[in-house]
């Protein structure tokens, strides 16, 4: 037996032992059996790897290359699935300490969503790219060294990877702040609606082909302009965003009920969601009526 490799870590040593202890298939008919010996050294636990041959100590070059990739693949998975979470938490604790605990949990979850590919943003290295990057650095290191401490390797040899995670956390923070601002904005709009009396009981909102909106009352007649006169004067001199215009008009009218009619037009989901939040329990979406039919003509 030849001791060929020593791998140390401060955490997840059980996972590392289980994965390294699995049988590894070589190019030929022979398999590699890895015998592991565990040895603590302060807060680091080392796993000494002994092999049934000389794969790392003068064995066939192709087998040595395969084994280094085998070890690098295992360690890269541990870094991505376990160390990365700890890195994210450390960044949040050190750089965003001013958020309360609930806010930090939300930021952590957003960061995890980006790391796992559930959310993306331009320029972000995808999970498979990160894995390949880590494997490449590990293989390069193992070509020159027979001892590796994963914690130190991540900190000093994967600085580009760490910077990627920092950018991810920064984006998660931006997302959280935008969401918080949106919630505060919705609360303000709800307050405006609550403090005024409804001017009309029911408003039918029709989405036209040009992306504009038409407001009709319960008799399918255009809403009386006197309700919107002051509001219209406010927006005449500015660039018009029809979604914002619609929301502002509805807040001005403050109806008891709002019904959307799309016809064949694409539903503006973001606008609908905002209005549903502001007019909680007062918004319906029509699935087909005479107004919807007119929209299709």
Judgement on whether residues 208 and 160 belong to the same structural domain of the protein: no
Structural domain contains residue 184: yes
Judgement on whether residues 211 and 289 belong to the same structural domain of the protein: yes
What pLDDT, on the 0 to 100 scale, is given for residue 30? 54
Strand locations in 212-282, DSSP E?
213-216, 257-261
What pLDDT, on the 0 to 100 scale, is given for residue 119? 86
Structural domain contains residue 46: yes
Q: Tell how far CA 277 is from the center of its chain.
A: 23
- Give the C-alpha separation, 117 to 154, whole Å: 21
Judgement on whether residues 90 and 180 belong to the same structural domain of the protein: yes
Structural domain contains residue 197: no
Strand, coil or helix: 167: helix
Structural domain contains residue 238: yes
What pLDDT, on the 0 to 100 scale, is given for residue 102? 96
CA-closest candidate to residue 52, choices 28, 30, 29, 32: 32
CA-closest candidate to residue 25, choices 60, 63, 74, 57: 63
What pLDDT, on the 0 to 100 scale, is given for residue 25? 53
- Give the C-alpha separation, 214 to 259, whole Å: 12
CA dist 177 → 36, 106, 155, 184, 292 (Å) = 48, 11, 29, 11, 38
CA-closest candidate to residue 277, choices 191, 159, 161: 191
Order of all β-strands in the sheet with 213-216: 213-216, 202-207, 257-261, 283-285
| Domain finish residue from 159, 188, 217 | 188
**Residue 207 contacts residue 261 (beta carbons within 8 Å):** yes
| Domain finish residue from 145, 163, 188 | 188
What pLDDT, on the 0 to 100 scale, is given for residue 224? 67
Structural domain contains residue 34: yes
CA-closest candidate to residue 158, choices 188, 182, 135, 126: 135
Judgement on whether residues 136 and 216 belong to the same structural domain of the protein: no
Q: Are strands 213-216 and 202-207 parallel, antiparallel or unpaired?
A: antiparallel
Question: What 8-state DSSP symbol labels residue 79?
Answer: I
Strand partners, 39: 46
Judgement on whether residues 233 and 101 belong to the same structural domain of the protein: no
Strand, coil or helix: 259: strand
> CA torsion, points 219, 221, 226, 232, in degrees to nearest 10?
130
| Residue linked to tokens 């407001």 | 215
CA dist 18 → 43, 78, 240, 256, 291 (Å) = 20, 12, 62, 63, 65
Structural domain contains residue 18: yes
| Residue linked to tokens 């890895």 | 34
Structural domain contains residue 194: no
Give the pair of three-digit tokens for residue 2.
């030849």
Judgement on whether residues 172 and 136 belong to the same structural domain of the protein: yes
Per-residue pLDDT of the chain (297 residues; tens, 9 = 90+): 344 788 999 988 888 888 877 755 554 455 666 677 888 888 999 988 776 554 454 455 666 777 788 889 999 999 999 999 999 999 999 999 999 999 999 999 999 999 988 888 877 888 899 999 999 999 999 989 989 999 999 999 999 999 999 999 999 999 999 999 999 999 999 999 999 889 889 999 888 777 778 888 888 888 865 555 444 434 444 445 678 888 888 998 899 999 998 877 788 888 899 999 999 999 999 877 888 777 665
| Domain finish residue from 188, 216, 238 | 188
182-217 pLDDT, tens digit per residue, is 999 999 999 999 998 898 899 998 887 777 788 888
- What number of H helices and E strands is found in the chain? 11, 10
In the chain, the number of structural domains is 2
CA dist 285 → 81, 208, 250, 269 (Å) = 43, 15, 15, 11
| Residue linked to tokens 């016809």 | 263
Strand, coil or helix: 296: helix
**Residue 36 contacts residue 87 (beta carbons within 8 Å):** no
Judgement on whether residues 136 and 20 belong to the same structural domain of the protein: yes
Structural domain contains residue 277: yes
Judgement on whether residues 210 and 145 belong to the same structural domain of the protein: no
**Which domain covers residue 285, as residue numbers?**
202-296
Q: How many residues does the chain have?
A: 297
What pLDDT, on the 0 to 100 scale, is given for residue 234? 44
CA-closest candidate to residue 2, choices 45, 50, 73: 50
Judgement on whether residues 243 and 105 belong to the same structural domain of the protein: no
Judgement on whether residues 181 and 216 belong to the same structural domain of the protein: no
């Amino acid at each position: 037996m030849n001791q060929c490799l020593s791998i140390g870590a401060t955490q997840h040593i059980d996972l590392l032992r289980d994965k390294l202890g699995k049988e590894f298939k070589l190019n030929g008919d022979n398999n590699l059996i890895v015998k592991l010996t565990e040895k603590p050294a302060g807060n680091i636990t080392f796993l000494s790897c002994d092999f049934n041959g000389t794969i790392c100590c003068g064995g066939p070059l192709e087998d040595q290359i395969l084994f280094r990739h085998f070890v690098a693949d295992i360690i890269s998975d541990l870094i991505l699935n376990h160390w990365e979470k700890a890195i994210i938490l450390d960044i949040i604790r050190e750089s965003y300490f001013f958020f309360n605990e609930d806010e930090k949990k939300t930021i952590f979850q957003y960061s995890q969503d980006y790391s796992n590919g559930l959310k993306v943003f331009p320029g972000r290295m995808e999970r498979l790219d990160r894995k390949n990057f880590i494997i490449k650095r590990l293989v390069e290191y193992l070509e020159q060294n027979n001892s590796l401490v994963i914690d130190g390797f991540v900190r000093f040899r994967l600085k580009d990877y760490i910077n990627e995670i920092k950018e991810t956390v920064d984006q998660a923070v931006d997302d959280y702040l935008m969401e918080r601002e949106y919630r505060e904005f919705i609360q303000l709009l709800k307050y405006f609606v609550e403090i005024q009396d409804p001017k009309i009981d029911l408003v039918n909102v029709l989405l036209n082909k040009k992306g504009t909106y038409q407001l009709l009352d319960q008799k399918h007649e255009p809403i009386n302009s006197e309700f919107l006169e002051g509001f219209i004067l406010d927006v005449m001199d500015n660039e018009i965003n029809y979604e914002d215009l619609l929301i502002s008009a509805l807040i001005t009218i403050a109806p008891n009920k709002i019904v959307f009619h799309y016809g064949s037009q694409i539903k503006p989901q973001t606008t609908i969601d905002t209005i549903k939040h502001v007019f909680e329990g007062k918004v319906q979406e029509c699935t087909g009526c005479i107004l919807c039919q007119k929209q299709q003509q």
